[in-house]
A = this chain, B = another copy of it.
Amino acid sequence: MSNHLYALILAGGSGTRLWPRSRASLPKQFLAITRSDLTMLQEAQARLEPLVTPERVLVATGAASVATVRDQLPNVPAANILGEPQGRGTAAAIGLAAIHLRHRDPDAVMAVVTADHLIARTELFRQTLATAAQGARDGWLVTIGIQPTYPETGYGYIEVNPSDAAKRGEAVPVARFVEKPNRARAEEFFRAGNYYWNAGMFVWTVSRILDEIAHLMPGLFEGLTAIERSLGTPAESETFEHVWPRLPNQTIDYGVMEKAERVAVVPVDLGWSDVGSWAAVYDLLPKDERANAVVGRHLSSDTQRSLIYSPRRLVATLGLDAMIVVDTDDVLLIAPRSRAQDVKLLVDRLKAEGLDEYR
């Protein structure tokens, strides 16, 4: 059943919400955030095994991060690491991987997964990919729908018919993709039970996704076709360098998924988190008896409900409640947990204050 199953790990993100640990030059997927032994990218690759072996893993990342990916995933062949000179959105990244796979194996089934999300239930994750791969072989574009645990307003949702809502772990037809809702609609979706978070994970055959791109994104398809023709020829890298910057910059969700026919979702509760802020990191980490989440050494007096993230330095706190403390070699961040989303404001200000070296 896992014959011909490949995986594309999307590792191009440059999130700033875990600043100062994550930097423009070292985004969170390349960091060990919640585990000390593996980076998020390494976790993303490890949880594919044994369903998808390293030889069948592709990674899409920024050109500047190719060396980092090679270092972190030594078992993934160097040729499988696709460096993007500029970010052109997930549609181009997925399309590029699809033509590389078609060139190598026209019958390839392709799972698209993310490098910067956490998945607690890895066995269930692989079962879900296998289920989705079967749906893909049957001709569906399959997405993974995450069972919501609260009414989040920051994600897109996937709606299914209410009669399909109870079907956990099997592929059911998607009724509709819904963009990020406001608070009231998010609460409605959460109560209704037939809406799932769109976590950006997909499974399809390369032939099906390339057909959809040809149909729905002809400009992208034209560019991809030019690149595909050059693969394995002396013109390969010149063609790529020329075509890539001219590809339309679009997400696969908007460019393909929202408009395509025969789209299915496998709803599942994977223990998924996008680790989208230091507050989320706090939620994910184990707590001590005063509800502090500590990475590193903490000398505490009367401190509770706080995240202390300091792998190197001793952090001594007195009388803190619900705070975030993140220490790095050159920057120290302190904020209330409730303000975790505003860390990106600080990053914006770095530029304004001429402190680019800290971004």
Residues of A within 8 A of B (CB): 20, 297, 299, 301, 310, 313-320, 323, 325, 327, 329-336, 338-339, 342-343, 345-346, 349-350, 353, 355, 358
Contact = CB atoms under 8 A, between A and B. Distances in A.
A332 B313 CA distance: 7
Greatest chain B CB density within 10 A among A297, A317, A330, A332 is at: A332
A10 B287 CA distance: 47
A335 to B, nearest CB: 4
Contacts of A338: 319
Contact of A301 (B301, B327, B329, B345): B345
A20 B316 contact: yes
Contacts of A313: 329-332
A324 to B, nearest CB: 9
A338 to B, nearest CB: 8
Given A314-B355, A316-B20, A358-B314, A301 B346 contact: yes
A313 B330 CA distance: 5
Contacts of A331: 313-316
Contacts of A315: 331-332, 334
Interface of chain A, main secondary structure: strand
Given A313-B331, A332-B310, A332-B325, A355 B299 contact: yes
Contacts of A333: 316-318
Contact of A343 (B318, B325, B339, B358): B318
A252 B314 CA distance: 39
A332 B314 CA distance: 6
10 contacts: A297-B355, A299-B355, A301-B342, A314-B332, A316-B332, A318-B333, A318-B336, A318-B346, A319-B342, A327-B332
Contacts of A316: 20, 331-334, 346
**CB-CB nearest 4 A-B residue pairs:** A318-B335, A314-B331, A319-B339, A316-B333
Contact of A325 (B297, B334, B336): B334
Contacts of A350: 299
A323 B336 CA distance: 12
A52 B306 CA distance: 53
Contacts of A358: 299, 314
Given A299-B349, A355-B299, A318 B342 contact: yes
A334 B314 contact: no
A346 B297 CA distance: 14
Contacts of A314: 330-332, 355, 358
A297 B20 CA distance: 15
Central interface residue in A313, A333, A345, by most chain B CB within 10 Å: A313
A301 B353 CA distance: 12
A295 B29 CA distance: 34
Given A299-B353, A353-B299, A355-B314, A334 B346 contact: no
Contacts of A355: 297, 299, 314
Which of A315, A319, A334, A355 has the most B CB atoms < 10 Å from its CB?
A334
Given A315-B331, A334-B334, 4 more contacts: A299-B355, A318-B333, A319-B335, A319-B336
Residue among A299, A327, A333, A355 with max Cβ neighbours from chain B (10 Å): A299
A311 B48 CA distance: 45
Nearest to A314: B331
